[in-house]
Homo-oligomer: A and B are copies of this chain.
Amino acid sequence: MTTDLKILEGRLLNTIHETAAKWGAAGVWGSDVTETGCCRLALSDLDKGVRDWFVEETKALGCTVKVDEMGSIFAIYPGKNEGLPTGIGSHLDTQPNGGRYDGIYGVLSGLEVLRTMKENNFVPNFPVAVVDWTNEEGARFPQSCIASSVWAGLVTKEEGYKLESITDKVPVSYGAELERIGYKGTTPADHTKNQLAAHFEIHIEQGPVLEHEKKKIGIVVGAQAYHWQQITVNGRSSHAGTTPMHTRSDAIHIASKMISAAIDIAKKHGGLATIGTISLEPSSVNVIPDKVTFSLDTRHVEDGILETINAEIAKEFKQIAETGSDPSQAALPLEVEHTLLLHSEAVRFNETNIATVRESAIQLFGEENVREITSGAGHDSCSTSHVVPTSMIFIPSKNGISHNPAEYSSPEEVSNGFKVLLATILRYDELRGK
């Protein structure tokens, strides 16, 4: 069942480095020219650059390229039969201070699958689509996996278009940026109208598990639940020099207590809590702020426990706000508001897909070098898993570091993962052929 397709060792990694160098290399962490991260925010000029290249490359391989209404690019490599394409998807956008593997590795591995098939004059039973999903990171437009979520019918197109950027001095909308870079396609962003037979995704783990256990490949069986909120604390601004401490309704003092409390609550339940953005009004050295806004990302592998974490946090925030800085004194109580940005349920991937990855990985690297793993991060595969058979493959991340320029997987790890992906796609295609 393994492939005897000839693989061109090193080309995938070269493509990763060449595209990073052209579109977004940033965040030097080592002395080699490839030792930087990448800043390629969704729908930016750099994103347009790499998209144009990706479209050209896949067309040159004989793909039909479709761009959907959310800007996701579907490059479809023809098969012997007309049926639905087997999808390989991930994303080409990055964090503002991201690495050069997160997402990019997945899309470029898909491209490498197509290149390898082409070179070997191999025609799959069914078409193979490589998909670049828009704004997976949720870094520029604060809803991760938005384009795959719209495609899967979890969120409306309109909600996506309305998202306002949080990385621009003057916020711009997803819809406007999509038009500006010329990637507002006409293919419906709808899994019932632009169908896939399945979705596979290869990704760096972004966490410490595989490295710690010295495993080469992670067979991803699902992903934990995560929840994004924007928290606003309303106090009363006043003068830093003339307002007695006991009469202050100091929004940042209260917010700082909330931040500590949220982290403690998540920890207590074995979950995660992250505060990634914060802003403060009016923002002047000698003014007690009256408004603090911060993001809160909470996660847990079990939906129920995540719900408990969020409920406890909300209860605690309310109490911290109401008792103010100094409840025994003249300080006014503060108010806290919660705005939901995103909720992604815990996901269990498709058993057939998982088995296909498992068999390919074990055949290539042996039982002892692979393990099942649950993703800590969200992925476009979490969206697609709601509507098509989906699973993922992980490779180790050095020091478990991601969303950091120093994100790194070795050339060997990059190559290992690609081999498992290629084998998985061929195996799945064969399965579909039967």
Contact = CB atoms under 8 A, between A and B. Distances in A.
Interface of A: 95-97, 137-139, 142, 144, 166-167, 169-170, 205-208, 224, 226, 228, 236-245, 247, 250, 252-253, 255-257, 259-260, 263, 266-267, 272-290, 295, 297, 299, 325, 341, 375-378, 397, 400-404
Contacts of A228: 285-286
A373 B378 CA distance: 59
Nearest to A140: B284
Given A241-B299, A242-B377, A404 B277 contact: no
A274 B256 contact: no
Contact of A170 (B169, B206, B267): B169
A284 B143 CA distance: 11
Contacts of A95: 282, 284, 286-287
Nearest to A344: B241
A274 B174 CA distance: 37
Given A278-B280, A281-B97, A237 B404 contact: yes
Contacts of A404: 236-239, 287, 290
Given A224-B241, A242-B376, A288-B403, 6 more contacts: A206-B239, A253-B275, A260-B260, A286-B377, A286-B403, A290-B404
B252 A259 contact: yes
A265 to B, nearest CB: 11
9 closest pairs, A vs B, by CB?
A207-B242, A242-B376, A240-B274, A256-B259, A256-B256, A169-B169, A241-B377, A97-B282, A206-B242
Given A253-B260, A253-B263, A404-B236, A297 B285 contact: yes
A250 B139 CA distance: 18
Contacts of A277: 280, 283-285
A206, A240, A276: which has the most chain B beta carbons within 10 Å? Answer: A240
Nearest to A27: B282
Contacts of A375: 241-242
Contacts of A239: 206-207, 376-377, 401-404
Nearest to A295: B285
A260 B254 CA distance: 9
Contacts of A97: 237, 281-282, 287
A400 B257 contact: no
A252 B239 CA distance: 25
Contact of A284 (B252, B273, B403): B403
Contacts of A267: 245
B247 A208 contact: yes
A96 B282 contact: yes
30 contacts: A95-B282, A96-B284, A97-B282, A137-B284, A138-B284, A142-B285, A166-B283, A166-B285, A206-B241, A208-B243, A208-B247, A228-B285, A236-B401, A238-B404, A239-B403, A241-B375, A241-B377, A242-B402, A245-B266, A245-B267, A247-B400, A250-B274, A252-B275, A256-B259, A274-B285, A276-B280, A276-B286, A277-B283, A285-B297, A287-B403
A404 B247 CA distance: 15
A186 to B, nearest CB: 31
